[in-house]
Amino acid sequence: MLNQTASTSTRVIPTAGAALTPTPASQATELPTIGFIGLGAMGSRMAVRLLSAGHSLSVWNRSAAAVQTLAAQGAQAQATPADAARGEDIVFSMVFDDAASREVWLHPQHGALAAMRPGAIAVECSTLSPAWIDELAARAAERGVRFVDAPVAGSRPQAQAGQLIFMAGGAAADVDALRPTLAALGGAVHHVGAAGAGARLKLVVNALFGIQVTAVAELLGFARSSGLDVDASLAALRSMPVMSPAAAGAAGLMLAGNDTPQAPIDLIHKDLGYAMDAAAAASGNAAALPLTAQAQQVFAAAAARGWGAENLVAVRKLYA
């Protein structure tokens, strides 16, 4: 547990709705202390940036190797999510799916939420289902823990460079309290509504991107099979408003054959499933997102070929 012993500065415990910046002792301002749960491709890069910004960081990950890498850079390694969260001002989670999130927050023996003190802020950055985020927000409120869902737009390069874009759902005061900390991680923080709004918008973002990637893969395959010069065709397309910057970037990776993981196929397949489930729950129509459903089928076909760990642009291989 971090900062639990007396020191030369005073650590102030914020109340609900209060700013997280502690009252300075002497003239020095103490940064919020942070627990970080989930040190995968995204979480590890985010944690390094928080360390570089000067935050005291307590970390947990399912695999010990990632924890030891962060510990070598100054973080405190913890044995459980509860240990990483106990006494900290802010606790971040960045994990794969609903099941992993439920495990780290609510496990009866080592869940982080039960270890958090009232007034601290729980921040879920993972791409998860709105139904689970709504439940988690309610459980946090029961304990007097402030909750913000803050999934991100951006992948590994943006996480490493501190250029993530946050879509934050929660009380405005809580989102504002987080902004100085999130500044070390990203270039923009959009407060998009109450708790759960961030999760919903993130699924919109990923569905829009997934649909574009599958369309580009299909149509570049068509261009090639039609005898077009694909490089020249892409250059022409990039000059037209019909092609978005995201689609152009994906097309460039496809032509280069660059499938290095950034947003793996398995991850986007999971996200599109969450989007369809959420849309069905909201509308009562199981076929509420037909284009998203078609895109998910493309990613499912790619995963069935053994490409699930590759970047989502590897769906191009279905049309080679």
Within-domain flag for 176: yes
- pLDDT for 12: 32
**Where among 161, 194, 227 does a domain terminate?**
194
317 given a catalytic annotation: no
Residue 276 belongs to some domain of the structure = yes
Residue 10 lies in a domain: no
pLDDT in tens, 1-11: 323 222 222 23
Classify residue 18: in a domain, yes or no. no
Any domain includes 25:
no
Residues 186 and 208 in one domain: no
Say whether both 187 and 220 belong to one domain: no
Range of the domain at 135: 34-194
pLDDT computed for residue 29 by the predictor: 60
Per-residue pLDDT of the chain (320 residues; tens, 9 = 90+): 323 222 222 233 333 344 443 333 333 368 999 999 999 999 999 999 999 999 999 999 999 999 999 999 999 999 999 999 999 999 999 999 999 999 999 999 999 999 999 999 999 999 999 999 999 999 999 999 999 999 999 999 999 999 999 999 999 999 999 999 999 999 899 999 999 999 999 999 999 999 999 999 999 999 999 999 999 999 999 999 999 999 999 999 999 999 999 999 999 999 999 999 999 999 999 889 999 999 999 999 999 999 999 999 999 999 98
Cβ 137 vs Cβ 119: under 8 Å = no
Output phi, psi for 259, to 5 deg.
Answer: -110, 20
Write the DSSP string, 162-203: T-EEEEEES-HHHHHHHHHHHTTTEEEEEEEESTTHHHHHHH
Asked if 183 and 44 sit in the same domain, the reply is: yes
Q: Within this chain, do residues 284 and 160 fall inside the same structural domain, yes or no?
A: no
Verify that 213 and 250 share a domain, yes or no. yes
| Domain's final residue, options 194, 214, 234 | 194
Q: Would you say residue 14 lies in a domain?
A: no
Domains in the chain, number: 2
Q: 294 and 157 in one domain?
A: no
Catalytic pick from 45, 146, 200, 202? 202
Residues 115 and 218 both lie in one domain = no
In this structure, the answer to whether residues 133 and 265 fall within a common structural domain is no
Looking at 146, 164, 194, the residue that finishes a domain is 194
CATH classification of the domain holding 256:
1.10.1040.10
Residues 44 and 190 in one domain: yes
Confirm whether 97 is domain-assigned: yes
Same domain, 175 and 46: yes
Q: How far apart are CA 122 and CA 110, in angstroms?
A: 16
Q: What is the pLDDT of residues 20-60, one digit of tens each?
A: 433 333 333 689 999 999 999 999 999 999 999 999 999 99
CATH number at residue 120: 3.40.50.720
Please report how many Cα atoms fall inside a 13 Å half-sphere around the Cα of residue 69, on the Cβ side.
14
Asked, for residue 180, whether it belongs to a domain, the answer is yes
Torsion of CA 241, 246, 249, 254, to 10 degrees: -100
pTM of the model: 0.89
Of 268, 246, 247, 248, which is closest to residue 312 (Cα–Cα)?
Answer: 268
Q: Are residues 173 and 235 in the same domain?
A: no
Judge if 175 and 213 occupy the same domain: no
DSSP-assigned letters across all residues of 216-240? HHHHHHHHHHTT--HHHHHHHHHTS
